[in-house]
Chains A and B, each alone.
Chain A
Amino acid sequence: MTTEKKVTLWIDGAPVTVPEKFTIMQAADTVNITVPRLCYHPDLSVIGTCRVCVVEVEGQRNPVASCTFPVAEGMRVKTSSPLLRRLRRDIVELILDNHPMDCQTCTRNGTCELQKLSYDLGVRERMFQGKRKRFPIDKSSPVHRNPEKCILCGRCVRVCGEVQGVHNLDQQHRGFHNVVTPAHGHNMLDSVCIHCGQCVNVCPTVAFTEQDGTEAVFEALSNPDLHVVVQTAPAIRAAIGEGFGFDPGTPVTGKMVTALRMAGFQRVFDTNFGADLTIIEESTEFISRLTRNERLPLITSCSPGWVGFMERFYPELIPLTSTCKSPMSMLSALLKSYYAEKVGVDPKKMFVVAVMPCTAKKFEARRDEHKAPWGAPYTDAVVTTREMIWMLKCLGIDFKDLADGAFDSPLGVSSGAADIFGATGGVMEAALRTAYENVTGKELTQLEFEQVRGVEGVKECSIDIDGKAISIGVANGLQNAKHLLDRVLSGEKTYHIIEIMACPGGCVAGGGQPYPPRGMHVLDPELARMRARALYAIDGAKSLRKSHENPAITALYGEFLGAPNSHRCHELLHTHYEPRFPRGVK
């Protein structure tokens, strides 16, 4: 055990002993004093811009920002005083003075950190009101950017650079004209943005938000000519309950299905089915490449944030990336072919809605590769978990007390392997369950691959399959993926298969998931862990836990697709990628 050097300081008159590397804010946290804060985020670098967290330190001329100021032996700190109350109030008022102040019509009404802070700090009147900055809203991409709501805390800049390695955002212009934008003032679509939506998640207000998908869904639901169906991603069932008072990590699959039926969807399908199918296709692709020892490692392609990142920053990895569509896009393609044929519906009169934990899925859905031969997208609308929560509330559906419903057949039947797709390492684990049995022909008894579970940024292991050591890499969060891939490209590491999920923790912490409950924060590893636990619990409780044992999948191949990786499969279930550079870059 390493012995950390500790210091004792005095906070509001009481001694506090903490490691010497702590800041005053961290020290205060240990004794349950929450210094008010805004720009601070525990999982991002500390930059001390908002100045809300000022405290008084004896011997310092001015109050200091507690989030950045290091503790010292014998230091005397005051976290509350008439001066500090006034300063904090004034600072928050200054932020409000340059804010639209349209709380009632704002999508973050009730969850906004600024709103809460201004209440907590007692901003009850506006003393310094003046001109307000005016900027147009950038609606070019699935992630909308509204600089007027921006309070310049810099969290989005940090998450985009530090966690996702994208560095698409930074502050531009000076002083009052300061604005967070992509480089050269390009709009989000022309930039290197990968639409992962982590900026949406960390924003204390709503300077970033997802493109609205709800209006189109409401309209479709009220159109009697349309056959409206919905599919829900694995991660939704572990998080949607949070919107209705459930603790994070409470699985609410049954209530969700019932609620969606009440909302008017004619059929409720499970993206899990697409996940099982993905496993069949991807493991077939993997085994074929492995046998021929070509184009290795295979890199998964379920995460559209990762696909966007790969196309922008690692186009050289296009040949290594699995050609499998994501579970959502596979299922949508089948809905408008196999299912439509089966139930005798004109696929052109179908409206497929996907509820996703993800903002990048909105981009994926509108890509040309995911369009049907008649030109319409296979997935007509994508709404995030957040959006669906709001829709259900809007419809007055009393979610909490609903009876459990069941997904529609056959595209609602799924294995436990599909459920765990929502957590980092889950795709890999699901693939291993199938690949192992397919290669060895033996039954896998130990289904849990603990080596790939957990929220660590990079996980590696080696699995013995039929005497062959299969080397595996798993990364979540694109900065972590970058580290892993750079080592692969430099030849330092070799893997046979790599799973990458763009969001830290995987889809359970995707850019479209509910804002965290009080006491937790976005990027909180514990939040991702709790949601993931729900998925692993669902998997553990199922008797069907391997994708290739899913009878509906077997039926689908028999009736419609033929063999895995067949020509038909390629038409409907596979895709291709192309390098995407921001405007002005070749």
Chain B
Amino acid sequence: MAPPKRGFEEIQRLFEQKYQARMRITVGSATCENAAGANEVYERFRELLHKHQIKDVVLSRVGCTGKCDMEPVVTIVSKSTIPSKYIHMKTDKVDRVFESHVRKGVPVEEWTMRYAAGIHSARQVVAVCGGAHCLKGGSVKLEQVFAEEVAKAGLADSVAVTSSACHGLCHAGPVAFVYPDNVLYQKLTPEVVAKIVRQHLGKRRPVAENVWQGERLTNRFFPIFGDVHFFGKQLRVTLRNCGIIDPENLDEYLAVGGYEAAVKVLTEMTPLETVNAVTQSGLRGRGGGGFPTGVKWNFALSQKSEEKYIICNADEGDPGAFMDRSTIEGDPHTIVEGMIIGGYAIGARQGYVYIRAEYPLAIQRLEIAIAAARKAGFLGKRIFGTEWDFDIEIRLGAGAFVCGEETALIRSIEGERGMPRPRPPYPAVKGLWGKPTVINNVETFANIPVVILDGPDWFRSIGTEKSKGTKVFALAGKVANTGLVEVPMGTTLREVVYDVGGGIRNGKAFKAVQTGGPAGGCLPAAYLDTPVDYESLAAAGSIMGSGGMIVIDEDSCMVDVARFFLDFTQDESCGKCTPCREGTKRMLEILQRITGGQGQEGDIEKLLRLADTIKKTSLCGLGQAAPNPVISTIKHFREEYEAHVRDKRCPAGVCAALLSYAIDAAKCIGCGACKRKCPVACISGKPKEVHAIDASRCVKCGQCFEACKFDAVARK
């Protein structure tokens, strides 16, 4: 039978021995971080370690660290100290970090993330659960109590108190986690808190009677080499290993419990039990549709067929979305493991990962992972020593957005032009090469090992009534901290935007948050308290989607935002069905007309009528969802549309054709800066005299507006 768990334990031991190294340096090295210079940073560390013949420090690359606005990120961990995360690293900074931190053990505080967050002096962090259940149990108050007790004990400089996302231990709450000691406290009261502060934080003696003694589930999801505060209200289940383990090293994946779920399923569970566990967990498709994964698996399991297939959809195509890429780049083995489990559950011996060719690093890491898994006997014939055969092949997508639609994806794998076909029959009945096929998204697969290993009941404990677990978002736009974030279902948009994202950049006003990519919608401030779950977002007029989240501030024109998304979908329409092919083009033309100052009375109604026709009659999800950005912006920002159409005015000052520039005589000092910049020479005026813009020749490029240092150029 299987390489018994003992084998894992051995590897685990090896691994621990490996990291008994004095120090570990990890360089965040996903595509975007490499683009920001992570490769150079890594190389510099390598050179220095080699030059100084340092052997007791391990240097490795890890996947996405989740902090787009701070990359490249380097983490330095040594035993029993809070890890130091250096942000905005450069090769010259590496030299000083090497000298001070690596050689002498003194962190360069001013370049660390905790310095940026203002808690750089902390040696210990208390993360009090901010989940709904614990909050009811008095967590907020407890956070205060902790802070007061810490201050009283004179530990304010060395202990930081923060709130964290749900730990999934609701029945034991309120709970709090002490880091880097990896101690989880349960059933907290103010008295217990006081005791913890005195004994544990003061004297490093944990208060044994309140320490959570069960299987330390949540510990697995805390970054074992990370920084608790860094993750804030996040709960990293899907991304549990991202940015922490070396994605190209199977040993590290094994060390964090990797492939244990696969072994458990293959040796202890029947396919039906496996499917039932997934059904019971409440896991729903993370690709956007939210279809219950277990139900989908059950359809395929109940099909009588010798040949079945399981496909991982990694054809992530939403503009600005990078959840799947980051997951694969950071933790490819978890996808392989999820697929092994899925294949076993439905009876598929062959899996395919359909991934877009524009993701070379993800492809490379996945190839390495698949090769390593094959070598270890986890893929191929008789995997894990059982009678079960399973293997995975990678298929590259050529970049068509529609190939993320499952029937188009299947056509593409078959070597045909990637165009959707009508359903039913559904792929679970008739899919790849006419055989029962299950297609799941990357994030869905990444959840599977957790569901198995920690049990469906634990998984169910996170999230809302109908949406269980967590959701990964690519947080982008005008938010202060852009990044890859993961929050429990039910977290509000406000928490994501403000607590995780740090609010709007440059003190601007929030205007809307766009979720769900080109198929989603824009929600205004009034909807900020909408919980992130499938039903609530849909009810608010947007969708969960695959996890794009773009924050829009007051400087953005909502008509222009809608135009942008429609431009994308109409460009990516495969052209098979009439409403999507022709209808989106007409909608785009109307939007272009409106933003171009040529809007006509009745255009908004035409948009809504076309949108309804396209939604109701398109063949696939792409077309059915394409009008969503337009519908939601008209619903929530109709007055902006009306201003464009009726008053020929763009309230946000974005639509160039609707702008006019004039010089405010009271403010103009006649410096001539605007005149020099004007590309069409339509500004006149003598030095030190008030200048004037000839509106008839102005091309509205806005250069004068940018050039004027005295706010004398007015834009309307």
Interface, chain A (partner B; CB < 8 A) = 47-52, 54, 62-63, 65, 68-70, 83, 86-87, 90-91, 94-95, 97-98, 127-128, 130-131, 151-152, 154, 170-171, 173-178
Contact = CB atoms under 8 A, between A and B. Distances in A.
Contact of B617 (A91, A131, A154): A91
B571 A174 contact: yes
Contact of B400 (A52, A91, A174): A174
Instruction: Give the 4 A-B residue pairs with the shortest CB-CB distance, closest first.
Output: A178-B575, A175-B573, A94-B582, A68-B422
A209 B619 CA distance: 29
B618 interface: yes
A176 B588 CA distance: 11
Given A130-B586, A131-B589, A175 B574 contact: yes
A97 B584 CA distance: 12
Interface stretch (B208-216, B608-616, B656-664): B608-616
A177 B581 CA distance: 9
Contact of A171 (B421, B575, B590): B575
A65 B578 contact: no
Contacts of A52: 578
B93 interface: no
A144 to B, nearest CB: 22
A131 B589 CA distance: 8
Given A63-B617, A170-B417, A177-B575, A152 B581 contact: yes
Nearest to B585: A176
B628 interface: no
Nearest to A64: B422
6 contacts: A48-B577, A52-B578, A65-B619, A97-B582, A175-B573, A176-B581
Contacts of B610: 90, 128
Interface of B: 400, 402, 417, 419, 421-422, 424, 570-586, 589-590, 606, 609-610, 613, 615-619, 624
Contacts of A70: 424
B417 A51 contact: no
A152 B574 CA distance: 12
Nearest to B425: A70
A573 B589 CA distance: 61
B616 A174 contact: no
Given A68-B422, A90-B579, A94-B613, 17 more contacts: A48-B577, A49-B577, A51-B617, A51-B618, A54-B617, A63-B617, A69-B424, A87-B617, A90-B613, A91-B578, A127-B609, A152-B575, A175-B571, A175-B573, A176-B585, A178-B574, A178-B581
Contact of A63 (B574, B584, B616): B616
Contacts of B624: 62
A425 B583 CA distance: 48
A128 B613 CA distance: 12
Contacts of A173: 575
A87 B615 CA distance: 10
A50 B571 CA distance: 19
Nearest to A83: B616
Q: Which of B400, B424, B573, B616 has the most C-beta atoms of chain A within 10 angstroms of its own C-beta? A: B616
Contacts of B585: 98, 130-131, 175-176
A94 B584 CA distance: 10
Contact of A87 (B573, B576, B613, B619): B613
A135 to B, nearest CB: 14
A176 B615 contact: no
Nearest to B613: A90
Contacts of A154: 576
B606 A127 contact: yes
Given A50-B577, A176-B573, A69 B422 contact: yes
Contacts of B424: 69-70
Contacts of B577: 48-51
A174 B617 contact: no
Nearest to B421: A47
Given A127-B606, A175-B570, A50 B422 contact: no
Contacts of B581: 152, 175-176, 178
Nearest to A151: B578
B613 A176 contact: no
A94 B606 contact: no
A171 B578 contact: no
Given A175-B581, A176-B570, A62 B615 contact: yes
B574 A98 contact: no
B525 to A, nearest CB: 30
A445 B422 CA distance: 56
Nearest to B610: A128
A152 to B, nearest CB: 7
Contacts of B590: 128
Contacts of B422: 47-48, 65, 68-69
Contacts of B586: 94, 97, 128, 130
B589 to A, nearest CB: 4
Q: Which of B582, B590, B610 has the most C-beta atoms of chain A within 10 angstroms of its own C-beta? A: B582
Contacts of A128: 583, 586, 590, 606, 610
B601 to A, nearest CB: 14
Contact of B616 (A47, A50, A87, A94): A87
Contact of B619 (A49, A98, A130, A177): A49
B617 A176 contact: no
A175 B419 contact: no
A468 B422 CA distance: 53
A95 B573 contact: no
A70 B574 CA distance: 24
A86 B613 contact: yes
Contacts of A91: 578-579, 613, 617
Contacts of A51: 577-579, 617-619
A308 B418 CA distance: 30
A158 B582 CA distance: 22
A69 B426 CA distance: 12
B616 A62 contact: yes
A127 B576 CA distance: 22
A69 B617 CA distance: 13
B578 A95 contact: yes
A174 B575 contact: yes
A319 to B, nearest CB: 34
Given A65-B619, A130-B585, A176 B579 contact: no
Contacts of B419: 171
Nearest to B617: A51
A83 B609 CA distance: 11
A49 B581 CA distance: 10
Nearest to B592: A130
Contacts of B571: 174-175
Contact of A174 (B572, B578, B619): B572
Contacts of A63: 616-617
Nearest to B401: A174
Nearest to B624: A62
Q: Which of B417, B576, B583 has the most C-beta atoms of chain A within 10 angstroms of its own C-beta? A: B576
A176 B582 contact: yes
A248 B609 CA distance: 44
A49 B578 contact: yes
Given A47-B421, A70-B424, A130-B585, A175 B575 contact: yes
Nearest to B605: A127
Nearest to A45: B421
B578 A94 contact: yes
B402 to A, nearest CB: 8
Contacts of A68: 422
Nearest to A128: B586
Nearest to A92: B578
A541 B445 CA distance: 74
A50 B421 contact: no
B576 A171 contact: yes
Nearest to A48: B422
B609 A175 contact: no
A294 B577 CA distance: 53
A41 to B, nearest CB: 15
Contact of B578 (A50, A86, A127, A131): A50
Contacts of A170: 417
A175 B617 contact: no
